[in-house]
A and B are shown apart, each in its own frame.
Chain A
């Protein structure tokens, strides 16, 4: 086990920079996910940690060694690929034991470790099969088994679940998390799926266009997104971001669409009249009783009853609003709906810079 330190890492392909100075400290035993839209540089960063991609500048430490110039085999890492990358001409047993065999480990030790990994992953009946004889989920497990067997300092996962169907993905998500709790190996996990990131990670690093937008625990990111990108990226359905202008004074609020007053507890540190975005998560909207003055008027466009909760899509002027309510609602498209945000849960972002105010 080891910590991973990423110091001012940059990467360019020719003159085209793709990663612009990333700093991440990963503590020993931590489970960190790198999350972001496709093309944000998260996979490239992971591949640089693995040694599969040269580093343009900056350095990466694993434990107390700078590994910039080390080939992958000397970095003491194991990697699980999106396509699993199982060796098609080797059986499950040989796939899992290959790394140990290369290290010239005694056969008895290889057997014992493969067997132990197979037990952990429920792969014992499949040890003598070839990858093509396995289902997607089983292949995924073998890929993980190959990583576990080596007992590396760091696990690297590159979108390992994206080739699985939805049900299996949820199941494997829990298995990987359980595995981490059991082995406590430092893990870097790349995904574009924020739900995966939220559910699995000790800490999430949100990347966009080659920079780190924010890093923190899942709930920190959820409760205090540092900017518009993180606010919109984390959470499903994503946060409502309503354009308006800031009103400071005794009753601070954001005024949107001419008249709708979106309440705030305290005014952020910005001038009166600043153009802002008012962020409110769908579950922090309440339905106000008609006749009361509070809240803002919207027009219902779509209602999605999910059983345990109801999602309502509505419009405030031209802006789309989503609300999630833990009760059943008898609403029809075109109905007028009075929504009341919980002021204590509101976020305000500067419309010009996108930063949290």
Chain B
């Protein structure tokens, strides 16, 4: 087979895969502009099969005719959007701070709890991911009720931090393991305290991994539905919950659901496009020499 043909086949395959991968996103975005019958009849191509309408954006107060007017749906939507941002950034930040220090400890010091060693402790953290979140539903509901954290953004941030902590610890431990301990020792000899060596030498060197862990955590928190649905009701509701709540008594409002979904997907697409290389760099640790 000639080189050109080979290349052509590869590009065709990649092209098909691109269409498959992008179609759901395209469908979500385009559905924002469909009316009920376009959705039900499975119309796909705008302007050819159906005439785009502002229905979806109007439902969240962002269509051209509603954007400059007072709009309750828009306020509602923006609060949810802002809640999602705060919950995911807050959860990821707390998880990163606690997780990075925990991972550093696991990477550099020897711990002994009865028969447990570092390896076992690390696995214990990771094993929390095996547990389905449903198991925690009742205990947390009771706990949050007692602590008056129900329907509070702070409560949501805390549980999100807890949720992504194992992943952060796991990524950061790998990252710290790849940094030779001589670096900190050199810093200690140069005049740093233990914390100084950690903050001035280890953290900057481990930054790619931290960025990766942070982005991954943000994404996971951003997409989280279960705890948000369980622990929030009006004040602290997030976007995923709002998406799910578009299935009302009058059937599913596809257009508004699609509009909110698009708004939920958009930040992730931006993260994916611009920060992808940091994620890869951070997750393929050991690049530091």
Interface residues of A (CB under 8 A from B): 50-52, 71-73, 77-79, 81-83, 85-89, 98-99, 102-103, 132, 146, 150
Contacts and interface: CB of A to CB of B under 8 A. Distances in A.
Given A87-B183, A88-B288, A132-B289, A50 B189 contact: yes
A62 B66 CA distance: 78
B191 A103 contact: yes
B70 interface: no
Interface in B196-250: 196, 201, 204-205, 207
A120 to B, nearest CB: 19
A88 B191 contact: no
Nearest to A156: B189
Given A81-B182, A85-B183, A88-B288, A72 B188 contact: yes
A23 to B, nearest CB: 24
A71 B188 CA distance: 8
A243 to B, nearest CB: 44
B193 A85 contact: no
Contacts of B252: none
Contacts of A50: 185, 189
Given A88-B205, A89-B204, A83 B180 contact: yes
A150 B192 CA distance: 14
Contacts of A73: 188-193
Interface residues of B, number: 19
B266 interface: no
29 contacts: A50-B185, A51-B188, A52-B185, A52-B188, A71-B193, A72-B185, A73-B190, A73-B191, A73-B192, A73-B193, A77-B189, A79-B185, A81-B186, A83-B180, A85-B183, A85-B185, A85-B186, A86-B186, A87-B186, A87-B201, A88-B205, A88-B289, A89-B205, A89-B207, A99-B191, A102-B196, A103-B191, A146-B190, A150-B190
A99 B191 CA distance: 6
Contacts of B186: 79, 81, 85-87, 146
Nearest to B186: A85
A87 B185 CA distance: 11
A81 B183 CA distance: 9
Nearest to A73: B191
B48 to A, nearest CB: 54
Given A52-B185, A132-B289, A85 B180 contact: yes
Given A73-B192, A87-B183, 12 more contacts: A50-B189, A51-B188, A73-B189, A73-B191, A77-B189, A78-B189, A79-B186, A87-B201, A87-B205, A98-B190, A103-B191, A146-B190
B185 A81 contact: yes
B109 to A, nearest CB: 13
**Most chain A beta carbons < 10 A, residue from B185, B186, B193, B196:** B186
A72 B189 contact: yes
Contacts of B188: 51-52, 71-73
Contacts of A78: 189-190
Nearest to A149: B190
**Most chain B beta carbons < 10 A, residue from A51, A79, A88:** A88
B199 to A, nearest CB: 12
Nearest to B201: A87
A158 B27 CA distance: 63
A51 B194 CA distance: 13
Contacts of A85: 180, 182-183, 185-186
Contacts of A81: 182, 185-186
B190 A102 contact: yes
B137 to A, nearest CB: 44
Nearest to A74: B191
Contacts of A89: 204-205, 207
A51 B191 CA distance: 12
Contacts of B183: 85, 87
A83 B190 contact: no
Contacts of B189: 50-52, 72-73, 77-79
A81 B193 CA distance: 19
A126 B192 CA distance: 25
A24 to B, nearest CB: 20
**Most chain A beta carbons < 10 A, residue from B190, B191, B192:** B190
Contacts of B193: 71, 73
Nearest to A79: B189
Interface in B117-141: none
Contacts of A72: 185, 188-189
